[in-house]
Structure formats: structure tokens, C-alpha cells
Amino acid sequence: MRMVITVLAMAATIAVALACTSQPDAAAAPQPSAADTAVATAQDEVLQVVTTVSPITSIVENIGGTRIRLQGIVPEGVNSHTFEPAPSVATVLANADLVILNGLFLEEPTLELAEANLKSGAAIVSLGDESIGRDQWKFDFSFPEAQGYPNPHLWPDPILALRYAEVVRQTLSDRDAENGDYYAANYDAFAARIAILDGAIKTAVATVPPPNRKLLTYHDSWAYFADRYGMTVIGAVHPSDFSEPSAQEVAGLIEQIRDAGIPAIFGSNVFPSDVMRVIADESGAAYIDDLSDDDLPGKPGDALHSYLGLVVNNLRIMIPALGGDAAALDAVDVGPVFDGPATAGYPQ
Ligand SMILES: [Zn+2]
């Protein structure tokens, strides 16, 4: 009863949100024999979920499936570390029942805007903070311990991404117990995919000659992944303030790559870097500039445009460049785990 009262109290706000999105699945709505208020309540109870970066949007979509309304807010192709939401995003955040973000200081301006606009009874969930404790935080060149902000890129490690999914499942079930079995089934299906992905990554990394299992990237998204799969991050080129590294730092990296005989170094489209080009030219390594930490491959609606697709696509780029064989990744189904149309809204 308390839920009904709360829902009715929020109905005006949610009605505005629903007006901007598609209506719930007709099959999920109560029969007309129920009281009109009950019909309205059931529709209004569809959780409005807002997420930040696209990998998180995809993970939440896999668990929430067709039973939630989902909108991401960080457009692909932008630097998520410096992203400032437009004032208009405040309306989207104000309509959310749940704002699910990475946390670990990745999306501070969005977090502030969410806190300022959160409606009564809504909650903010920081997946990174829920998934690991401070004792598991990693610090490095781009995220130095002295500044106190850990490397926030947990999701390139699929086992930590599964932990995100577990937090999502629990959060959705707590808010919407009626669909708890549905969220649990989606979680189980996602966990099965992650198990296949994890095995495929281990197989693929094992084909890389051991001396080549080293990563030099522009943007250090690989700290947790590398530890998981026995690779070494020998450095990242961008300092925490996104300035260019010093001449000495560049010279040091060139020497390291030459000494180790690393065949390739990696950048991303979001962070074009002349310095990486120079390091590659001087060291003799190939410069591969299309790894991604939060841009999903393909377009919304493509199977590959998903969290699982992101990991598979990155490894199909990384593993051959280091002298290995990525064929094991072909075993991973990267499409949604639930039946029905895709539900995530990806901002462009
Ligand atoms: Zn990043």
C-alpha cells in the first residue's frame, strides 16, 4: 500500500517522463477489469533508470531488459572524464528513480547535477564504489595516489563488470520486487556470457608471446584488466590533467618499448595523440589508435554495440597486434541476453 501511495504521489512527475518515452509493453499492463488507478499505478511503476557511460548503460540494459526505462547521458566519442552535462540533462535526472553511474570520481559533474535534482525517493548508485573496496583501488601514472582518485576503469575487467551487474540486479530487485525473477534470470544469462568471455580472454592472451604481454596506452583503462589476465601495463602517456607528458617521460617510454621489444602501443579515437605517434615512430612499435574504454563499437541496435561487444572488439584489436590470436573471442555472443527489443537510449 505504501508503494501505491508513493507511486501516486510521484505520478505527475513520471507522467512527464513517460510522455517523452515509449509506453510500456501492452502485455505487461493489468487487465482492464482492474480499477483505473491500478492500471495507472502499474504503468507508473516502470523504473526510470538513468546511466552515464555506454558500457554501464549496456550492462544495466542486459539486467533490466524490457522491464525498465533506460537512458544514458554521456554521448559516445566524448571524454567521459571531463564530460559536463548540459543544463537540460537536469530534467532527465530529475525524472529518474535510479541514477546509476560508475563513481570512483569518474563523473563528478554529473553526480553533482544528479544530487541537486534527485526527486524524492530516488537513489544514486555508484557501481565502482559498490564493487570494490579502497584496498582494491589501483593508482598509476594517470591516476596518481597523491591526488587520491583511483583508476576508475573497472569495467574492462569482465569479472568486475559482472560485479556491476550483480549490484544492478540487486538494486532493481529491491526497487521492483515483482520483476525480481526476471532480473535474476537476466543476470544469470549475463553471468554465463561473462564466463565464456573470461575463458576466451585467457585463451587469447595465452597465444601472445609472454614478452609481448605488455600494454602501453595513451589512456590507462587497462589497470584492472591487465592484473586479471597476467598482462603488464608499462605506462600510459596522458598525465592526470590530460596535458602532454614531458620530453623526459616520452624518452623514457621510447627506451622502455625498445628494450622490451613491444610490437605495438595503443591509443583511442577519443584521445588523438601526436605524442603516441612520435613514441611509435621512435621505438619501432606499431601505433594502434582504436582501442576504446567507453565508446561501444558499431551503432545502437547492432549486436556489437554492447558491453560484451566492446570487450571483444578491443581484444580483436589488441591481441593480434601483440602477436597473438583472438579467434577464441568468436565464441562470445555479444547481443542482449534478454528477449525483446533493445531498450537503452544512447545519447548521440
Ligand atoms: Zn577513461
- Helices in the chain by DSSP H: which ranges? 2-19, 36-44, 54-64, 89-94, 108-117, 127-131, 158-175, 180-206, 223-229, 247-260, 274-283, 307-321
Q: 64-104 pLDDT, tens per residue?
A: 999 999 999 999 889 898 999 999 999 999 999 999 999 99
- Report the b/e string of 69-97 with b at 16+ CB within 10 A: bbbbbbebeeebbebebeeebeebbbbbb
Query: What is the predicted pLDDT for the residue at 42?
Result: 52
pLDDT above 80 for 225: yes
Query: What is the predicted pLDDT for the residue at 28?
Result: 43
State in Å: Cα 82 to ligand 1 middle: 10
pLDDT above 60 for 26: no
State in Å: Cα 2 to ligand 1 middle: 41
State in Å: Cα 279 to ligand 1 middle: 21
**147 or 32, which is more confident?**
147
State in Å: Cα 327 to ligand 1 middle: 26
State in Å: Cα 293 to ligand 1 middle: 6
> What percent of the chain clears pLDDT 70, i.e. is strictly above it?
87
Average pLDDT, the chain: 87
Residues with CB under 5 A from ligand 1 (ion): 293
Q: 234-258 pLDDT, tens per residue?
A: 888 877 677 778 888 899 999 989 9
- Helices in 104-246 by DSSP H: which ranges? 108-117, 127-131, 158-175, 180-206, 223-229
pLDDT above 80 for 166: yes
State in Å: Cα 153 to ligand 1 middle: 6
State in Å: Cα 87 to ligand 1 middle: 23
State in Å: Cα 152 to ligand 1 middle: 8
pLDDT above 90 for 271: no
Backbone φ and ψ for 218, nearest 5 degrees, come out as: -70, -50
Domain spanning 209-331: CATH 3.40.50.720: no
| Model pTM score | 0.86
Q: 274-299 pLDDT, tens per residue?
A: 889 999 999 999 999 999 989 999 99
pLDDT above 70 for 9: no
